[in-house]
Amino acid sequence: MANRVAFIGLGTMGYPMAGHLARRFETLVWNRTASKAQAHAQQFGSYAVTDLRETAAAEFLFTCLPTSVEVEAILEQLLPALKPGTLWVDCTSGDPQHSRRLAQRLRERGCDFLDAPVSGGKAGAEAGTLTVMVGGSRESYERALPVIGAFAGKVFHVGDVGAGHAVKAVNNMLLAIGLLSAAEGLATLAKLGVDPAVALEVINVSSGRSFSTEVHFPERVLTRQFPNTFSLALLAKDTRIAVAMAREAYVPAPLMQLAAEMFEMAKAQIGGDVDHTAVVKLIESWAGVQIAPRSE
Ligand code: NDP
């Protein structure tokens, strides 16, 4: 069992995930904006460190940063301080190729790496019920399992290093395609005079349903709230990773390509900081209609 863990990146996901770890283990936390680490220490009893290198005292090092680029920058700073045997668990939705390079650098120092991206959103992170897809050696996976379990509902070992990030990128590509296709379909129905709320009731007990129709549209679109829990820029990044993977594997993937392009266009037009579901507003503006319940 872990003596000490460290968590780097207390964003929407990392903050509550590190909170669950702190309830079970001695947990060091570091964040670029230090005030968040201090707030975390007060809320969960973790230990806020201001010098990143202090996190190297932990046996398990967690990262949850926007992309693999930020993970690599942190690794560059930490590498000289890492002790052999340290297990780096990267919960970022990262890039498999990048992860394989990071894992190699860590192995040269006697450390190991697991890519362990998560699914379940802010709500799942707060409830400690995230789905975690892990890539890496079986031995390191088994070593990390009791620690990852602090914030997970389901944990899967999906293959070697990079496999976790690969599964996550495809999952999020399916989310992106589901969101775009549901928006186009519902905008069409709204324009033809069908109440989108009624159409969703039908679709959600029929074969066209998806996470988007079951969750996003009822909770975020019909309510017109679009709460910002997962940024459009981050989903655009996931679609880019999925397209790069398809290219690398010589898999023709025109749908994935189109979805990635649409998210890049959306990012350019409405900005990356909005919630990913705000892409629906763009489709609404092209269609000249709003996907909202009809007022009788
Ligand atoms: P946020 O934008 O909320 O948080 C990002 C975190 O990374 C913050 O702690 C931020 O620090 C830190 N950070 C950003 N840039 C740097 C940098 N250059 N150096 C050091 N630290 C940096 O992201 P999320 O928590 O939403 O997402 C994190 C990862 O999890 C992403 O890969 C995302 O795709 C994935 N994910 C997100 C989900 C969601 O619903 N939000 C669901 C599942 C996966 P600071 O506080 O200083 O800004």
Q: From ligand 1's centre to the CA of 255, what distance in Å?
A: 27
Q: From ligand 1's centre to the CA of 207, what distance in Å?
A: 34
Per-residue pLDDT tens over the stretch 250-277: 999 999 999 999 999 999 999 999 999 9
Work out the percent of the chain whose per-residue pLDDT is above 90: 98
Ordered DSSP codes for 58-127: -SEEEE--SSHHHHHHHHHHHGGGPPTT-EEEE-S---HHHHHHHHHHHHHTT-EEEE--EESHHHHHHH
**Nearest atom within ligand 1 for CA of residue 130:** 43
Nearest CA to ligand 1 atom 35: 93
Nearest CA to ligand 1 atom 26: 12
Q: Is the pLDDT of residue 296 over 80?
A: no
Q: Is the pLDDT of residue 217 over 70?
A: yes
Just list the catalytic residues.
Answer: 168
**Please, which pLDDT band fits residue 294 given cuts at 50, 70 and 90?**
confident
- Distance (Å, rounded) from C-alpha 208 to C-alpha 187? 15
- Distance (Å, rounded) from C-alpha 167 to C-alpha 186? 28
Domains of the chain: 4-159 (3.40.50.720), 166-287 (1.10.1040.10)
pTM over 0.95: yes
**Nearest atom within ligand 1 for CA of residue 119:** 43
Which of the listed residues 12, 17, 69, 215 should we mutate to test ligand 1's pocket, taking the one with most ligand atoms within 8 A of CB?
A: 12
Per-residue pLDDT tens over the stretch 52-85: 999 999 999 999 999 999 999 999 999 999 999 9
Residues in the chain: 296
- Distance (Å, rounded) from C-alpha 12 to C-alpha 14? 6
Nearest CA to ligand 1 atom 11: 32
Q: What is the pLDDT of residue 120?
A: 97
Nearest CA to ligand 1 atom 7: 65
Per-residue pLDDT tens over the stretch 121-165: 999 999 999 999 999 999 999 999 999 999 999 999 999 999 999
Q: For ligand 1, which residues put their CB under 6 angstroms from it? A: 9-14, 31-33, 36, 64-66, 70, 92-93, 118-119, 121-122, 229-230, 234
Residue 180 contacts residue 283 (beta carbons within 8 Å): yes
Residue 12 contacts residue 19 (beta carbons within 8 Å): no
**Please, which pLDDT band fits residue 1 given cuts at 50, 70 and 90?**
low
Other C-beta atoms closer than 10 Å to the C-beta of 125 total 25
C-alpha separations of 146 from 81, 93, 133, 287 in Å: 25, 21, 14, 49
Per-residue pLDDT tens over the stretch 169-200: 999 999 999 999 999 999 999 999 999 999 99
Q: From ligand 1's centre to the CA of 13, what distance in Å?
A: 7
